[in-house]
A and B are shown apart, each in its own frame.
Chain A
Amino acid sequence: MTHFLGDLSLALYVASFICYARILYVPNLWVGRLASVLLAGGILAQYWALYERSLSLHTVPYDDLYGSMSLFAWLLGITYLGLELFHRERAVGAFVTLLLVCWIGLLGLLTPRSLAAPTVPRGALFAFHVTLNTWAYAAFALSFILSVIYLAQDQVLRSRRLGVPFWRFPALDVLDRMARSSVYVGLVALALGVSMGFTWEHRLRGTYSWGDPKVIITMAIVGVYVAYLLLSRSANWRGARAAMLCAFNFVMVLFSYTFVNLYLTRFHRYL
């Protein structure tokens, strides 16, 4: 069942990508709406896949690298869909769904789907801590995509060599607002997630692991994204420079999500 739902979500993401890509070339309101519906369908199917997997594991779905990455993709889809509805802009959908398709496709190819042994239950607080932090990373990933598109669009405008998709991409101002919204979502999720993590740890051990590399890098991530939000409204940074900073910040997120999780931290390793 989990396999079927996983494949179904991938198929829906692929269909959604095709529709989003189509409206980049030939705008059509109904194809755009269909793209959003297919994406929502993919998100729903992936939710059930994660849920089924959790039931089988008797724990949360992110207890291993596969589950964690799958949850990341799911939250990325949700965050994008939310931003799309809020900003009423679909032109970025092709890029986000392409990332989702590649991510889930690779995940399916590289990670064995045999279920790991059940892990020790850690309670709801811990579950929220991990989910919110993963959500924050997904939102930052989205802001990265938006910033890269911003930089590309800015470059095209400056070079004056306008291709077909140029006229279909969102305006710089819209991309900027979407990226900022995404960072806001990420920061709020991260702040809540970190707070819950600390609370959970304090209840369990009576201490706070301030020295853990994961905690340090997370604080740094909060710092650089807050700096982005502040600088992106300043005279010298507004626009392409802020977009560049936002894109660079995501490198830290990737570093935290991969290298730190795998090699540096004691408490945040994938099982």
Chain B
Amino acid sequence: MPTTTANSNRSNTVRIRVALIGCNHRTAPVELRERIAFSSQQALQAADELRNLGILEEAVVVSTCNRSELYGVPGDLSPSSGAEAMEDYFTSFHRIPRGDLEGRFYRWSGPDAVRHLFRVAAGLDSMLLGEAEILGQLRTAYNQALDHGATGPVLNRIFQGALEVGKRVRSETEVGARPMSVALAGVKLAERVFGNLKGHSALILGAGAVAEQVVEHMRNRGIGNLRVINRSFDRAAELAQRVGGEALAWESLESVLGAPDILVTSAGATGPVLTREMLERALAARSGRPVFVVDLGVPRNVAESAADLYNLYLYNIDDLGEIVEQNKKARESEIPRAEAIIAEHIDKFEAWRSALEAGTIVNDLRDQFHKHRELIIREKLKDMDDVSAEERNRIAHITEELIERLLEEPQAKLKHGRGMRGRLAGLEAIRHLFGLDEGQK
């Protein structure tokens, strides 16, 4: 349930509070992040303990390689002491001296916490702007907490909103589009030539780390046939086994060069391994069908002059690096559009919050007015013996009606007034003027 403020007597005011503490790749180095990471089991355990200790009413722990964050709806504590308690719990859970995390945590509450989560879901807070993995990680963290019963209406609302934001940002903006790594850029470019890579074949020349990443991306796209050639056959066999391909002897290079549609080279060599003539012969052997060549070698493995061969598309590591740089800029230019989507969803959340809070604050006011009414009537009528019971009832009835009439307009304005900001300001003003939060403070 949403936080029910422990007001002086019997308040029903629903005050929706959200708090967040955490640290990410910007605030903490990897050595620290790995010490405060939560496994999925630990995340559920932490959510349970935080709720059992009364620090939070709802809790979701999000822990990835780049961040460890604790989202919650604080219990009866004030926002600042709630965050303090969360931080204490965080450090004690991981048995880390508090000093080690000094200045590493960020704390957000209310709309700022919601905005942070939405930005995380959109990939705007990621190390690699717009990366898609975080959305899946958020979904998993939330679903686990939901299944475990650690969430409630507030976090359900926020996390479902975050997942929607993530989806919308990726489908309506370019923030998550276009490859951001050299390996993926190479594969995406190959797709610009061949379309679907299923049914196509690739030859990997050399067994470098980036080449392996390229292979991984091609495998994910269902490339039909993968062959690996390396000067050391053992390394070729090792890589081939890992990627589910076939290892070939270095000597067979020229004889197999005509078969693959995609060539990925990353061999260590002092000069070109593939000359223009070799590639010319390869193209002839494949009846001029296009070949896409990704040359990741430094020094380059493919002769520069091969770039103008008909139906051969050659990209070296610098070309791919430049594309990645262009894509990075393009993604950055999409941030305002992503922020606009986030702002739209924050407004939705705030509207939901204000509607929920408005419904209960009027009831609280009514209770308070009635309490005062009863006191005054009792006080004033105490010495008026000439007032009959019937008249007393009429006075009570009239004052009750007066209260209802007085509350009619504010209630309508709070529920249906124009502008969410105005409604929220109205709620705050009423709380302040009538001291509805006093019990809490």
Interface-forming stretch among A131-139, A222-230, A235-243?
Answer: A235-243
Is A26 at the interface (CB under 8 A from chain B)?
yes
The answer for the CA separation of A38 and B116 in the assembled complex, in Å, is: 39
Is A209 at the interface (CB under 8 A from chain B)?
no
B149-200 residues at the A interface, CB under 8 angstroms: 171-174, 177-178, 188-189, 191-195
**A173–B193 contact, CB under 8 A?**
yes
Our pick among A26, A233, A235 for the contact of B172 (Cβ within 8 Å) is A26
| Proximity string of chain B (314-355) to chain A, C-beta cutoff 8 Å, 1 when within and 0 when not | 010001001100100010000000000000000000000000
The answer for the CA separation of A235 and B192 in the assembled complex, in Å, is: 20
Interface-forming stretch among A13-21, A44-52, A155-163?
Answer: A155-163
**A235–B193 contact, CB under 8 A?**
no
Q: Which A residues lie within 8 Å of B315 (CB)? A: 160
B108-127 residues at the A interface, CB under 8 angstroms: none
Our pick among B195, B284, B310 for the contact of A171 (Cβ within 8 Å) is B195
Assuming the contacts A160-B319, A238-B287, A239-B310, asked whether A171 and B173 have C-beta atoms less than 8 A apart, the reply is no
Chain A residues within CB distance 8 Å of chain B: 25-28, 153, 157-158, 160, 162, 164, 166-167, 169-174, 233-241
Lowest 7 A-B CB distances belong to which pairs?
A235-B288, A171-B195, A238-B288, A235-B287, A173-B195, A174-B195, A239-B311
Is B313 at the interface (CB under 8 A from chain A)?
yes
Assuming the contacts A26-B173, A167-B178, asked whether A236 and B195 have C-beta atoms less than 8 A apart, the reply is no
Q: Which A residues lie within 8 Å of B178 (CB)? A: 167
The answer for the CA separation of A246 and B394 in the assembled complex, in Å, is: 96
Is B290 at the interface (CB under 8 A from chain A)?
yes
Q: Taking A235-B287, A236-B310 as given, write out 9 further A-B residue pairs in contact, using a Cβ cutoff of 8 Å, ordered by the A residue number.
A: A160-B322, A166-B192, A169-B192, A172-B194, A173-B290, A234-B287, A238-B290, A240-B311, A241-B310
Least Cβ–Cβ distance between A175 and chain B, in angstroms: 9
Q: Which B residues lie within 8 Å of A162 (CB)? A: 323, 326
- Which DSSP category, helix, strand, loop or mixed, fits chain A's interface? loop
Assuming the contacts A26-B173, A234-B287, asked whether A157 and B195 have C-beta atoms less than 8 A apart, the reply is no
Residue ID in chain A nearest B287 by CB atoms: A235
Q: Which B residues lie within 8 Å of A164 (CB)? A: 174, 330
Residue ID in chain B nearest A177 by CB atoms: B195
**B313–A157 contact, CB under 8 A?**
yes
> What are 21 residue pairs bridging A and B, where the CB atoms are less than 8 Å apart in the complex?
A27-B177, A28-B172, A157-B192, A160-B322, A162-B323, A162-B326, A164-B174, A164-B330, A167-B177, A171-B193, A171-B194, A172-B192, A172-B194, A173-B193, A173-B195, A174-B195, A234-B287, A234-B288, A235-B287, A236-B288, A241-B310
Least Cβ–Cβ distance between B367 and chain A, in angstroms: 49
Q: Which A residues lie within 8 Å of B283 (CB)? A: 235
Q: Which A residues lie within 8 Å of B313 (CB)? A: 157-158
The answer for the CA separation of A158 and B253 in the assembled complex, in Å, is: 26
The answer for the CA separation of A234 and B174 in the assembled complex, in Å, is: 39
Is B51 at the interface (CB under 8 A from chain A)?
no
**B319–A172 contact, CB under 8 A?**
no
Least Cβ–Cβ distance between A160 and chain B, in angstroms: 5
The answer for the CA separation of A171 and B195 in the assembled complex, in Å, is: 5
Least Cβ–Cβ distance between B122 and chain A, in angstroms: 15
B9-43 residues at the A interface, CB under 8 angstroms: none
